[in-house]
Homo-oligomer: A and B are copies of this chain.
Amino acid sequence: MSFNSFGRVFRFSTWGESHGPAIGAVVDGCPPGLTLSEADLQPWLDKRRPGQSRFTTQRREPDEVRILSGVFEGRTTGTPIALQIENVDQRSKDYSEVAAKYRPGHADYAYDAKYGFRDPRGGGRSSARETASRVAAGGVARLVIPEVRIRAYLVELGGIAIDRNRFDDAEIDNNPFFCPDAIVAAEWEAALDAARKSGSSLGAVVECVASGVPAGWGAPLYAKLDGELAAAMMSINAVKGVEIGDGFGAARLRGEENADPMCPGANGPTFLSNHAGGVAGGISTGQEVVVRIALKPTSSILTPVETVTREGQATEIVTKGRHDPCVGIRAAPVAEAMMALVLADQKLLHRAQIG
């Protein structure tokens, strides 16, 4: 019921602001006896880390995670795991303009409307900086589901989609876009360079696939696997849409096209297609779990936009500073983390009820 916690049995809570001294997460309900050290988490954080190409914010954060509790002699004890990441490169000296004017597309106005005031330094709590905590927590979650392999990549950037026939898993880590299609990656580079130079930004679509999920995970009706994934993914900054399997495309199919036929397989029934994205009735079917999320273009742009001051006067704003021209890129490791966190929780929930 906490506002800043997610999960039911395997549960994490995050805290921290963009320009505070640190951010962190507390993971609760983790099974005991799992081998865990900072070295298990750091690679995931490194993947999300800013400043690794000219296509992400130039803020320099080492994003070194520390484990402050819940581990003894290298193994989880079953007690809460506190994870902490220092904010090193805050540079919040000058936030007077952001404090005084609402940036359209940002949470500024909504936060003021809700809380009466806000921490304007780097977006405060509404900054995507918080997602580093999720990625750390997601690293713990991965240890709970060793049977599952999770992979996120971009399938669209600035309206340019990949060609599924050129999909190459090995390509994903070969370019700064987590793009599985080398040819389209080059197009994205050009498009994003152009957008960046013109002071604009682009949106993206990220696909996240989990393989190895056994049939039976998911807790219908209001803790359905797809419902939990929808909530998890929609909670990521800038996400405006979530699809499972064919998603909106399924609405354009006929019944016989959309139903995934089944046939006998070596290890039980198998499916001849996966329009459902691995979930039926809110429960995993044993197929790949496929989620796609739409990310809007960053609202932090150099193009001036009409807005109002806190006092309600008309004005204009140009959002300077160090921003990702396409937040969709760094959302890929965050989507992986959220997938891991949901699946770890569902695995434990399943075990609770079914044994």
Contacts and interface: CB of A to CB of B under 8 A. Distances in A.
Interface string A122-142: 001110001000000000000
21 contacts: A2-B2, A4-B220, A5-B13, A9-B353, A15-B80, A16-B82, A26-B26, A31-B355, A33-B116, A105-B276, A107-B283, A109-B215, A110-B215, A113-B284, A125-B220, A203-B250, A226-B234, A241-B247, A255-B298, A263-B306, A351-B352
Contacts of A212: none
A3 B28 contact: yes
A161 to B, nearest CB: 10
A11 B4 CA distance: 10
A350 interface: yes
Contacts of A244: 234, 240-241
Interface in A256-271: 256-264, 268-269, 271
**How many protomers of this protein does the assembly include?**
4
A164 interface: no
Contact of A104 (B8, B15, B260): B260
Given A104-B259, A205-B248, A262-B306, 17 more contacts: A2-B13, A2-B29, A3-B220, A15-B82, A22-B82, A31-B355, A104-B260, A109-B280, A130-B221, A203-B250, A230-B230, A249-B294, A254-B297, A257-B297, A258-B299, A264-B308, A349-B352
B251 A107 contact: no
Interface in A194-214: 195, 200-205, 214
Contacts of A255: 105, 195, 200-202, 297-301, 303
A328 interface: yes
Nearest to A6: B222
Pick the most buried of A106, A203, A217: most chain B CB atoms within 10 A of its CB: A203
A150 to B, nearest CB: 19
A1 interface: yes
A107 B9 CA distance: 23
Contact of A20 (B24, B68, B308, B314): B68
Nearest to A21: B68
B234 A224 contact: yes
A170 interface: no
Interface string A67-98: 01110100101111110000000000000000
